[in-house]
Amino acid sequence: MRETKRKKFWKRILTAAAAVLAAAVLACVLYIGNYYHAEESALEAAAYSGQGITVSEEDDRIIFTPDSPRAGLIFYPGGKVQYEAYAPLMEACAEQGLLCVLLHMPGNLAVLDVNAAEGIPEEYPHIESWYMSGHSLGGSMAASYLSRHPGDSLSLIISNTDDLLKRLRTGDIHFALVEGNYDTSEFDSHIYRTEPFIPVCSTRHSLPNEPCRIRDLFNEHLLLREPGSGTRDILEKHLDMKNIRLSDFTHITEIGSMHVILELLEKNLGISFLYEAAALQGIQNGTLRRMPLKDFELDHDFTFIWNRGSVFSDIYLKVYEELRRYQ
């Protein structure tokens, strides 16, 4: 009798468990099956090649290839969104020279295949630079993928302002931190930091009269950055406001490296004008000093810039915010 009751008890438990499991599976199927469908225009963009862009489809992706791709983009769609819905965005990115790989996630959920991007860059060895992006859940999973692959990193180029602006225009770089002046109608920007711009010399260097004026320095040996440098441009414009030209200085040496200028200053081989941050270590250890000029007070901005109207503006803003956190 007890054995019969025990069997009936476990039968009820197993029946209830099966019912719960069936309900869970049904709920999962209904959840995954209920997703945002792409509009007809998006489906057309995913299916047909346009002028200068070739659209091809594989089992788990759609590839948008421009005639001359300069970089690649891997895109993770948002959760419960038909991946073809992002075709118009990928088409717009391809028009900017990006080979775009739009991934199809299992069940339209990127969380089910976080590593979907793995191996894709190796399939296109002719493309050196790659971006990753995504929408909503897809963006979170793209970030998760990158956090697990620390070898995928940004490239850093150090150069003068003119060269960085040229690289931005040609697409060689995607954003820049510049000290010099630029065309605000051509670039979007955010101020990264404002720095004092100061006259500097060795602590062993003596001036005829202290404090003195800029004109008292005309016979000094001026160490100056090369044409195109933001540091030089800022100095020239500020001196111009005082009706002073660089040619008014008797001795000028142009140097393409801030590091070399600092070394020459410490050896007491000239004077210079530069950002306080560049000379700060020398000032703190007692090898450099700020020259006391009565008529020279200047602060200038370091600015984070990128091409105006870029489709990646949101991504660049996130990079800017991260840089601000660590300044």
Pairing of strands 98-103, 71-76: parallel
Instruction: Kindly tell me if the per-residue pLDDT of 5 is higher than 70.
Output: no
Q: Model pTM?
A: 0.52
Domain assignment present for 118: yes
161 and 140 together in one domain = no
Q: What tens digit of pLDDT does each residue of 194-229 get?
A: 989 999 999 999 887 887 899 999 999 999 988 888
Domain assignment present for 94: yes
pLDDT of residue 4: 57
196 and 307 together in one domain = yes
Q: How many domains does the chain have?
A: 2
Instruction: Kindly tell me if the per-residue pLDDT of 315 is higher than 70.
Output: yes
230 and 169 together in one domain = yes
Distance CA 191, CA 175 (A): 13
- The residue segments making up the domain with residue 291 are 155-327
Selection from 271, 289, 270, 269 nearest residue 279 by Cα: 289
In this structure, of 16-25, 130-139, 149-158, 211-220, the range with the lowest mean pLDDT score is 16-25
Instruction: Kindly tell me if the per-residue pLDDT of 296 is higher than 80.
Output: yes
Pick 44 or 168 by higher pLDDT.
168
314 and 194 together in one domain = yes
pLDDT of residue 304: 93
Tell me the residue type at 119: G
239 and 204 together in one domain = yes
182 and 300 together in one domain = yes
Residue 239 banded pLDDT, cuts 50, 70, 90 = very high
Phi/psi for 271 (5° steps) reads -125, 165
Q: Give the CATH number for residue 194.
A: 3.40.190.290
Question: Which of 94, 118, 148 is the last residue before a domain boundary?
Answer: 148
pLDDT of residue 88: 86
Q: Which two tokens stand for residue 303?
A: 């600015």
Which residues are bridge partners to 254 per DSSP?
Answer: 224
pLDDT of residue 12: 55
Residue 158 banded pLDDT, cuts 50, 70, 90 = low
